[in-house]
A and B are shown apart, each in its own frame.
Chain A
């Protein structure tokens, strides 16, 4: 079987001292920022992007992915112990996990979360290994019109599945694309939106935008209501699950894994949507739904499995099509570009070391996370006592040096300051900044494929609808928009996100 050869290759790459080391650093950092509220994977990865310059591409990507799925683990720890979700995807875990902790079953909740995450992570990684290569092969047959349609579909789907106003999210995508087009035009060399500044000839730096919006903007938002966090940590004991518990969590973990794996592939999906849907499904099919919200172990197992599976499978569109499904994946693409690798279907075939190395490292990383999270839980709990007013100035410092070191150019620092303000204003106006980032990273590719498609078709825009694959994808995009904008669905959707 080819897949076993490929996995063997992957493990030969991942099991070197250097890559195991970076994998460890990644999951360690991931757990750390997952535990610390107010610091998520997006700013952390953005801060570390410049540092990955000096690393070989495989090590860089292994470390950055470790941060992402590590954060899913760490976030659930705080959610369970102090009802403070370190990550938005563990909001659901806090509902029943914290109740379990209050009933003295914190150990069982933590163990459930870890087992669920580990199982889901392993299965989803396997799915990634199985489905990514054929998908990439399919994508290789795509011409410019198909690519354009695919990207439109990706952007629309990410908008449709995100929470909040669809029109605003679309506007953010378009704004992101416009910002992404800044700098010299690839075909003619004409500078666009540079205000005659030579420093902006290469366009707005992606890292500066991401760190401004998600790093600096987020800090100001956290400073809005600086309340005293009294940390009452429950004693953790009894990490072993009873037979009864194990019986109760098998179903939710399996369902969560498959639901999460599926939703993770969809743009805009990923970990957050997966955990929310898993929770509502478990509640619906449970024989005793009244226990939910009062410490039902199923309410921890399902969402935890789902968010980890979703985090893992969201790598599929990124690695095979070069299309990010969420801001973290957008940063991963940024990391690939920094390393001089063109994201897209060629990565699987031209960089097998990279592709299979990352996949193999995910198993190793998931295993490390179980070890890091269960026996060492005491250390993480102690970290919770670091107050935010000590933490945030250090984050500002890291953001500054990080963004400066990308190009050794002060303009990037000022760009970050500007987008910090922009990010904060957008959030205050209920405009989600995540679609903006996706638009920014996809924008230049979108324009290039549009131009190429129009060149082939001799300027005839119907080309997108006469070619079957592209017509199907654009049709799906339109359908998705229509469905989301229908009043009845709209109301349902709002309810779903409110839960």
Chain B
């Protein structure tokens, strides 16, 4: 690949940072700026967004070159294809499921589901250990968080006949 990209990690980080800077600047535009003596809520964020954009540009440019390069160094590649997409998705899903379930389902089922979904992220997933882990964690969180610390959380939520 002959490109002007010297280091795709730098380019990607630069793009991401510039994008975030633009996003924050856009959000800050809707806020009152005020003046230096009495800064409004948008003043400091706007300065920061500008600074962030500048830094992002520097990072972006440092990853580019005018002389076309043949091959990138292996450490500079992002290697999207080798990212652990399945574990990343499953762990995120586990957390989201917990967040969705905690009110309607209660602590027990949502904790069990979250732990069970997480166990699937490992290549060494076994149904028996997964069920056992989930059960232990549910029992443990009941003992510690509901009985021990007295958190105001129902074990079973309204959808399952709890309160």
CB distance A175 to B91 under 8 Å?
Answer: no
Q: B99 touching A414 by the CB < 8 A rule?
A: yes
Q: Does A224 touch B at the CB level, under 8 Å? A: yes
Tell which of A338-346, A377-385, A403-411 binds the partner. Answer: A403-411
Among residues 6 to 20 in chain B, which have CB atoms less than 8 Å away from a CB atom of chain A? 9, 12-13, 16-17, 20
Q: Which residues from 413 to 428 on chain A have a C-beta closer than 8 Å to any C-beta of chain B?
A: 413-414, 416-417, 420-421, 424-425, 428
Q: Given A192-B45, A392-B122: A171 and B145 within 8 A (CB)?
A: no
Nearest-CB distance from B120 to chain A (Å)? 9
Q: Is the CB of B94 within 8 A of A454?
A: no
The interface residues of chain B lying within 8 Å CB-to-CB of A389 are: 119, 122-125
A397 to B113, CA, bound (A): 9
Chain A residue with the shortest CB-CB distance to B52: A174
Interface check B68, CB cutoff 8 A: no
Q: Is B5 an interface residue (CB 8 A)?
A: no
Q: How far is it, in angstroms, between the C-alpha of A326 and the C-alpha of B41 when the chains are bound?
A: 28
A175–B114 CB distance below 8 A: no
* B92 → A minimal CB distance (Å): 5
Which one of B62, B100, B149 contacts A51 once the chains associate, using CB atoms below 8 Å?
A: B149
Contact among A165, A192, A420 for B41, CB-based, below 8 A: A192
Interface size classification for chain B: 35 or more
| Contact B41–A226 (Cβ < 8 Å) | no
Q: Which residues of A contact B44 (CB under 8 A)?
A: 181, 447, 450-451
Interface check A190, CB cutoff 8 A: yes
Interface size on A, residues (CB 8 A): 61
Given known contacts A185-B41, A416-B95, A400 and B87 CB-to-CB distance under 8 angstroms: no
> Shortest CB–CB separation between residue A391 and chain B, in angstroms?
9
Q: Whole-angstrom distance from the CB of A61 to the nearest CB of chain B?
A: 18
Within the complex, which residue of A168, A394, A450 is in contact with B13, where a contact is CB–CB below 8 Å?
A168
Q: Which residues of B contact A425 (CB under 8 A)?
A: 16
- Distance in angstroms between the alpha carbons of A447 and B78 in the assembled complex: 35
Given contacts A394-B133, A405-B151, contact A428 B40 (CB under 8 A): no
Q: Would A413 and B88 be within 8 Å (CB), given that A192-B45, A450-B39, A461-B36 are in contact?
A: no
**How far is it, in angstroms, between the C-alpha of A247 and the C-alpha of B29 when the chains are bound?**
66
- Distance in angstroms from A474 CB to nearest chain B CB is 15
Whether A455 is near chain B, meaning CB under 8 Å from some CB there, is yes
Q: Report if B65 contacts A (CB, 8 A).
A: no
B96–A393 CB distance below 8 A: no
- Is the C-beta of A223 less than 8 angstroms from some C-beta in chain B? yes
| CB atoms of B122 and A429 under 8 A apart | no
| Interchain nearest-CB distance for B50 vs A (Å) | 10
Q: How far is the CA of A177 from the CA of B114 in the complex (A)?
A: 31
B118 touches A174 (CB 8 A): no
Given the known interface contacts A393-B137, A429-B12, the answer about A178 and B31 at a Cβ–Cβ threshold of 8 Å is no
Question: Is residue B161 within 8 Å, beta carbon to beta carbon, of the partner chain?
Answer: no
- Residues of the B chain whose Cβ atoms lie less than 8 Å from the Cβ of A447: 44
Are B91 and A420 in contact (CB-based, < 8 A)? yes
Q: What residues of chain A lie closer than 8 Å to B91, measured between beta carbons?
A: 216, 219-220, 223, 396, 420
Contacts of A178 in B (CB 8 A): 24, 45, 48-49, 52
Question: A428 contacts B83, CB within 8 Å?
Answer: yes
A468 at the interface (CB under 8 A from B): no
Question: Which residues on the B side are within 8 Å of A408 (C-beta)?
Answer: 152-153
Please report the C-alpha to C-alpha distance between residue A420 and residue B114 in the assembled complex, in whole angstroms.
15
Whole-angstrom distance between the alpha carbons of A396 and B113 in the complex? 11
**A410 with B62, Cβ < 8 A, contacts A167-B55, A220-B88, A429-B16 known:** no
What 7 A-B pairs are tightest by C-beta distance, nearest first? A459-B37, A413-B99, A185-B41, A393-B118, A459-B36, A389-B122, A417-B95
A-contacting residues of B (Cβ < 8 Å)? 9, 12-13, 16-17, 20, 24, 27-28, 31-32, 35-42, 44-45, 48-49, 51-52, 55-56, 58-59, 62, 78, 83-84, 87-88, 91-92, 94-96, 98-100, 102-103, 107, 110-111, 114-116, 118-119, 121-125, 129-130, 133-134, 136-137, 141, 145, 149, 151-153
List 10 contacting pairs A-B, 8 Å CB cutoff, sorted by A. Answer: A178-B52, A216-B92, A220-B91, A389-B122, A389-B125, A400-B114, A408-B153, A429-B16, A431-B13, A450-B39
